[in-house]
Each structure stands twice: as structure tokens, then as C-alpha cells.
Amino acid sequence: MDSFIKEVKSHIKELVPDHCYRMWIEPVRLSAHDAETIVLSVPNDFYVKRLKENYLGYFEEGFLRLGKKARIEFKVCQKKSGKSKSGTGQTQKGRTQKTPGVLPVIPVADGVPPEFHPQLPGMTPAFNCGRMLKKNFTFDDFVVGDNSSFAYTASLYLAQGKLNGTGVLFLLGKTGLGKSHLSQAVGHHMLAHDGGQRVFYVTAEDFTNEMIYSLRNNSIDQFKEKYRLKCDVLILEDVHFLTGKSATQKELAMTLDYLIDADKKIIFSGCERPDEIPKLNENLKSRLNMGVVTEIKAPDFGTRVKILNKKSKAIQCVLPTPVTEYIAQEACNDVRQLESAMLSVVTRGQLMKRNIDIELARSVLEKMNGTQKRITIDLIKKLVCEAFDVSEQELLSKSRKQRIVKPRQVAMFLSKKYTDQPIKQIGASFKRYHATAIYSVNAVEKELKQKGQRYEQVQYLTNKLESGRF
């Protein structure tokens, strides 16, 4: 049986990213087995939960390939003891005693002590195994309002397999309204009710980067197999990132054909409707539109109050009703702004050792909202021109010189971040098309991840905008 577990782990190693294998699969050891059950030992309770949620199907498939159809159990390995208790099946003088109805215990291999804690994968790119689902992004933690009722119901029905015969859902909405929460809630539900489901949660950028990585490393066949044949639920966020990326669009369209034909579940999310995403090929556009498209809008006052009550309860700080209603009235753009305002008020009260009352809330939010309301696209243009030593005329010109293009991209990025103008209007403000504005925002976001010169420049401008020094 020891040779079987080696073969199974070797098979899994071919299916999962290397750092995931090292972290979660390599420490697993065979502990016990009989005709119906295979017990695998792991270092701690966290491993039990993680393996059940994400890798149980891999082990079942691996043993099945070897002709061993059995129930897989994960148990925390115990320290070896020199003493033996009668009837427990523990080793005595190097021999194993068998007790009827009790699985014989096989000593855990050396080198994996119970206190073993794996080294984190460090700087390994996250896209290799997809992103982690946030613990509190579940259906139970989502506050439903008139703005999100249909999106919530559609997501829940999809997770339960009841969405009018289709397994495709597109969640539409601006940033901070709950698209990620609902899409991940579907993933949590699938894992909780069917641990064998293989859920892949990635952004469109992750998918693109992983495909490029596979092409460069001659592993594109494994990439295709992973998404086309080894995925049961695909959650793909920020599909507007695909604009202009023809190779990625072609590969994704083919992948979706495989998943749809196999009746798999697919959840998309984005800030633009599929028909409004520029430079999107017709094949992919038709597949994005073939499911249910549902929009999440900004929450109304009553829903904002419910959200604040739920979030304040989560941090064990129940706010007085007048404070809750004041925050709900002032922070009305999206859920993230709402949560930020609440946390700012609570933190100020704790640091200053003051009771949280309406006066404290007003002093905090007036400063936040005052700064935010003064930020306009014209102000951002002026600030960027001063920082980069270019004129506004140059910024709006057709020039493709890098000393003009880079500041223009930064200005569009900041306009998207600090104003509520739609991306089409931002592009028009810089005499650019919708697609150019999206490309500029994506380009700056990508450069920020490199923590280089562009990161320092944007941080400088961000600090000025958020502090009101302009």
C-alpha cells in the first residue's frame, strides 16, 4: 500500500502547481487502511479542512486509477509512544496487533513530526493555483437589498443547480458593490455541499498570465487540460481586462465551449456588459451573453443600514442608531466606502477614548467626504501636469511620446479611482476612446505591482489627493 500512496501523490503532482504540492500534498502519509477505508495522516487540523475542501477529489481519483475504490479520511498524526494500549492496534515490540473492527495503525513516516508547519511559497505567483476564497464571502454573510436581490437569488440558484437549465451567470456592477462576494459565495457553497468539486477562482488577468507562462514553459497542454477537463466550477472576475487580448480571448472561448458542453458552472463578473467591452471577439462575447446577466446596483439607505449593522456586529462594536443612520446617509457610493467610513469612526473613537456619538461621526466623515467631493478629473489633470512637468494641452494631444503617454495613463487611472465618472466619460475627458481608457487603467495597475518608479509616482499623487493638499 505504501507504493500506492507514492503513485497517487506522483499523479497529483502532475495536476497541481509545484508549490501547492509541496505545501499540501507532500506532507500526507498513509496511516491505515482496510477494504473500505484509507486513512491518511496530516500534520494538523487545518490540513484536514484544507485537503477535504480542495484535494479530496484528487486522492479519490488517484486511488481509483490504481483499482482502489475506498473512502478517504484525513486524520492528524499522533506522536509515537513507546507504550501500547490493549486493543488499540498500536505497535508493540515492532509488531502490529490487529483488533476486530479497528483499523491497524501504520507508523507515520519519519521526517513529518506532528508540529510540522510548511514554509509558505514566498513570491511564487498566485495565479498558479488560483486565488483563495475569502472566508466571510458566503451567502450567509451577504446583506440582500433591492439593489442585489435578483443577483443574490440567481447566484444561489446557480450554486444549487436550479438556474433555469443554464450553468452560466454574469454578475455586472461597479467596484465595491458585491460582485466578488457573490461569485465567491457560489464557490463556498459548492465546496461545502460537494467537497469533490474542483473550483477555480481567478481573475481575467490571472488567466492571461497563466496562459503566457504556460506558453513560455512549453506546458500549454497542461494548462488546457486543467481548465477544460479538470474544472467543475470556473469563477472568472474582471472580464473587462480581456479587452484587446485576442489570443487569450480565443483560448478562453474554446475553454468555455468545453465547460458548457460538460454542464459545468461558470460565473463571470465585470464592470461592463459583454456587449460594451471594447475589442472583444464575437465568439467570446456570445459565450459571455449566453447565461443570465444580472446587475448589482448601489445599495439604498435601508440596505446600507443593514450592512452597517451586520459589519459592526462582526467587529463586536454595535453603533448607536443615530450614528449608523448618519454614516449610511453620508457614505452612499458603495459597500467599500460604507465599511471604510464605519471603521474610521470606530477607530477614531477607540484611539481618542471617546464614546462613538453623532458628533464624532460627523467630524470624521465631513473630512472624508469633503476631500472626496473636491476631487474632479480637471483637478487630477492639473495635479498630474504639475508633477510630470507637462502641459494640459500636451496631455490631451495625440502625442505618443512616453513622457506624455505615461502621465496621461496615470491621470486616467487616478480619475477612475477617485471620481465616480464612468470609464467612457473618463476617456472622453482625455480625448480618448473607451478602449484606450481601459487599457491605460490596466497598464498602470500592472506597473504598480512591480513596486518600481511608477509605484512611487502614483503613491506621491495619491497621498496628495487623499490628504487634500492640492
Phi-psi region of 376 (alpha: psi -120 to 50; beta: other; left: phi over 0): beta
Check if the beta carbon of residue 129 is closer than 8 Å to that of residue 16.
Answer: yes
Check if the beta carbon of residue 133 is closer than 8 Å to that of residue 50.
Answer: no
Do 277 and 174 share a structural domain?
Answer: yes
Cell 467626504 locates to 369
Q: What is the pLDDT of residues 116-169, one digit of tens each?
A: 333 333 333 333 346 788 888 989 889 898 889 999 999 999 988 877 778 899
Cα gap 131→236, rounded to integer Å? 11
Residue 90 in this model has a pLDDT that exceeds 60: no
Cα gap 412→437, rounded to integer Å? 7
Q: Which residue did the predictor score with more confidence, 90 or 63?
A: 63
Do 249 and 156 share a structural domain?
Answer: yes
The share of the chain scoring above pLDDT 90, in percent, equals 21
Long-range contacts of 63-67 (CB under 8 A, 24+ apart): 63/4, 63/8, 63/38, 65/8, 65/11, 66/4, 66/7, 66/8
What pLDDT band is residue 78 in, cutting at 50, 70 and 90? low
Do 355 and 410 share a structural domain?
Answer: no
Number of Cβ atoms within 10 Å of the Cβ of 4: 16
Number of Cβ atoms within 10 Å of the Cβ of 254: 15
Do 263 and 213 share a structural domain?
Answer: yes
What pLDDT band is residue 19 in, cutting at 50, 70 and 90? low
105 domain residue, yes or no: no
Cell 478629473 locates to 377
Cell 467630524 locates to 363
User: What per-residue confidence (pLDDT) applies to 352?
Assistant: 84
- Nearest CA to 238 among 248, 225, 250, 247? 248
Do 276 and 154 share a structural domain?
Answer: yes
Cα gap 354→373, rounded to integer Å? 27
Residue 392 belongs to a domain with what CATH number? 1.10.1750.10
Domain end residue (candidates: 49, 78, 107): 78
Residue 6 belongs to a domain with what CATH number? 3.30.300.180
User: What per-residue confidence (pLDDT) applies to 17?
Assistant: 67
Cell numbers at residue 251, please? Answer: 483560448
96 domain residue, yes or no: no
119 domain residue, yes or no: no
Q: Which residue did the predictor score with more confidence, 433 or 89?
A: 433
Cell numbers at residue 195, please? Answer: 467537497
66 domain residue, yes or no: yes
Cα gap 254→140, rounded to integer Å? 34
**Phi, psi at 140, each rounded to 5°:** -65, -30
Domain end residue (candidates: 373, 396, 422): 373
Check if the beta carbon of residue 43 is closer than 8 Å to that of residue 116.
Answer: yes
Residue 360 belongs to a domain with what CATH number? 1.10.8.60
Range picked from 72-81, 86-95, 121-130, 200-209 for highest mean pLDDT: 200-209
Which domain range does residue 365 map to? Answer: 301-373
Range picked from 26-40, 254-268, 323-337, 421-435 for highest mean pLDDT: 254-268
Range picked from 21-30, 102-111, 250-259 for highest mean pLDDT: 250-259
- 228: which residues sit within 8 A by CB, 6+ positions away? 254, 255, 258, 259
Q: Which residue did the predictor score with more confidence, 391 or 330?
A: 391
- Nearest CA to 242 among 283, 200, 204? 204
Do 224 and 184 share a structural domain?
Answer: yes
386 domain residue, yes or no: yes
Distances (CA, A) of 385 to 388, 395, 398: 5, 8, 16
Identity of the residue numbered 311: K
**Is 409 in a helix, a strand, or coil?**
helix
- Sheet strand arrangement including 37-42: 29-33, 37-42, 71-76
Do 278 and 356 share a structural domain?
Answer: no
User: What per-residue confidence (pLDDT) applies to 237?
Assistant: 92
Do 67 and 136 share a structural domain?
Answer: no
Cα gap 193→232, rounded to integer Å? 13
Q: Which residue did the predictor score with more confidence, 404 or 57?
A: 404
The share of the chain scoring above pLDDT 70, in percent, equals 85
Do 332 and 253 share a structural domain?
Answer: no
Residue 106 in this model has a pLDDT that exceeds 70: no
Domain end residue (candidates: 373, 402, 430): 373
Check if the beta carbon of residue 171 is closer than 8 Å to that of residue 179.
Answer: yes
Do 245 and 141 share a structural domain?
Answer: yes
Give the β-pairing of 71-76 and 37-42.
parallel
What is the average pLDDT value for the chain, to the nearest integer? Answer: 81
What pLDDT band is residue 468 in, cutting at 50, 70 and 90? low
Identity of the residue numbered 1: M
123 domain residue, yes or no: no
User: What per-residue confidence (pLDDT) applies to 466?
Assistant: 74
Identity of the residue numbered 232: D
Q: Burial, 340: exposed, middle or buried (Cβ in 10 Å; 0-12, 13-18, 19+)?
A: middle
458 domain residue, yes or no: yes
User: What per-residue confidence (pLDDT) applies to 338?
Assistant: 87
Total domains, the chain: 4
Do 382 and 306 share a structural domain?
Answer: no
Least confident of 51-55, 79-83, 107-111, 286-290: 107-111
Number of Cβ atoms within 10 Å of the Cβ of 124: 15
Q: What is the pLDDT of residues 186-198, one digit of tens each?
A: 998 988 877 678 8
Check if the beta carbon of residue 78 is closer than 8 Å to that of residue 44.
Answer: no
Residue 3 in this model has a pLDDT that exceeds 60: yes
122 domain residue, yes or no: no
Do 266 and 194 share a structural domain?
Answer: yes
Cα gap 30→32, rounded to integer Å? 6
- Nearest CA to 415 among 443, 446, 378? 378
